[in-house]
Amino acid sequence: MDLSRQSSIILSITILTTFASNVKSSLPQGLQTLNISSEITTDPNITASFATDFGNLFNRTPGAVFFPSSPNDITTLICFSYTSTTPFHISQRGLGHSTYGQTLVPDGILIDMSSLGRKNHNRINVTNGPIPYADVGAEQIWIDVLNATLKHDLMPRTGETVTCSRESNPDLFYAVLGGLGQFGVITRARIALEPAQKRVRWLELFYTDIKGTHQ
Ligand SMILES: *[C@@H]1O[C@H](CO)[C@@H](O)[C@H](O)[C@H]1NC(C)=O
Ligand SMILES: *[C@@H]1O[C@H](CO)[C@@H](O)[C@H](O)[C@H]1NC(C)=O
Ligand SMILES: *[C@@H]1O[C@H](CO)[C@@H](O)[C@H](O)[C@H]1NC(C)=O
Ligand SMILES: *[C@@H]1O[C@H](CO)[C@@H](O)[C@H](O)[C@H]1NC(C)=O
């Protein structure tokens, strides 16, 4: 799921671990000895296709792209970097909707989060009850989350403005601090749900130039 564009309240997030702060830009020896090595590619034709984000302002080719098949695979990579004498940069990409190059990782390893959902289709679990919620894999997109929750006549809450700080809504504040790949990898999120509306209006605006003329 592309959390950079989401507007719902995230109740809880699963963060694997912090990144090493003392990082070097080259990929270390020993990566190929890991059991996840077959999921890592340095093929320039592939790394080049992961060099931009939604804003398309920056082009920063990762040293390698990692296609994990499970959250444990991500743990393996991060632990390897963390305990390595030459730690390296790690970032993650959902559908590439981040902007301003925030999740691009020149010379580091980019995690393709969408590959988490490729083998395992059971990555959206809806729990009904007095406080309904959905446990959602981080690779999911909102239309699929909505589709799954509508089957229970529920939908994600949207559009609520919440002000948070260390004192006000501290849980939300610290969760937001963890966003944008700055200190961890979100592998799933618990999303608050509410009874579904019978109809919704869905608008997509396509801008053809920077002045804001839309089709
Ligand atoms: C990359 O693509 C080019 C053009 O399609 C091809 O000739 C080349 O063999 C590819 N390189 C790799 C490493 O697959
Ligand atoms: C690699 O090893 C970790 C830890 O033992 C395991 O959880 C993970 O499933 C393994 N991944 C692959 C692709 O074999
Ligand atoms: C959904 O439930 C299944 C079965 O309990 C579990 O294996 C899976 O990890 C859950 N997925 C999420 C995203 O919580
Ligand atoms: C919603 O899920 C159903 C299957 O349960 C599928 O047929 C349909 O295409 C999905 N709709 C969207 C918009 O993805």
How many angstroms is it from 45 CA to the middle of ligand 1? 6
User: Helix (H, G, I), strand (E, B), or coil: what is residue 82?
Assistant: helix
d(CA 8, CA 158): 5
d(CA 210, CA 15): 36
State which ligand 1 atom lies nearest to the alpha carbon of 44.
13
Which segments in the chain show pLDDT lower than 70?
A: 1-26, 120-121, 159-164, 176-189, 212-215
Predicted confidence (pLDDT) per residue in 112-146, tens digit:
998 988 876 678 999 999 999 999 888 888 888 89
pTM above 0.85, yes or no: no
Cβ–ligand 2 contact at 72 (below 6 Å):
yes
The two three-digit tokens of residue 67, written as one number: 């296609």
pLDDT at 187: 60
Cα angle value 109/114/115 (rounded, 5°): 75
State which ligand 2 atom lies nearest to the alpha carbon of 69.
13
How many angstroms is it from 148 CA to the middle of ligand 4? 8
pLDDT at 63: 93
Burial 143-180 (b: 16+ CB within 10 A, else e): ebbbebbeeeebbbeeeeeeeeeeeeeeebeebeebbb
Contact 59, 78 (CB under 8 A): no
Cα 106 to the center of its chain, rounded Å: 18
User: If you count them, how many residues does the chain have?
Assistant: 215
pLDDT at 164: 65
Residue with CA at minimum distance from ligand 3 atom 14: 135
Give, in order, the Cα–Cα distances in Å from 89 to each of 29, 80, 98, 170, 208.
Answer: 14, 12, 17, 28, 35
pLDDT at 30: 85
Give the contacts of 147 (CB within 8 A, at least 6 positions apart): none
State which ligand 3 atom lies nearest to the alpha carbon of 125.
1
Cβ–ligand 3 contact at 63 (below 6 Å):
no
> Which domains does the chain possess?
3-13+120-192 (3.30.465.10), 29-118 (3.30.43.10)
Cβ–ligand 3 contact at 125 (below 6 Å):
yes
pLDDT at 102: 86
Cα 90 to the center of its chain, rounded Å: 13
Looking up tokens 């002045």, which residue turns up? 211
d(CA 71, CA 119): 13
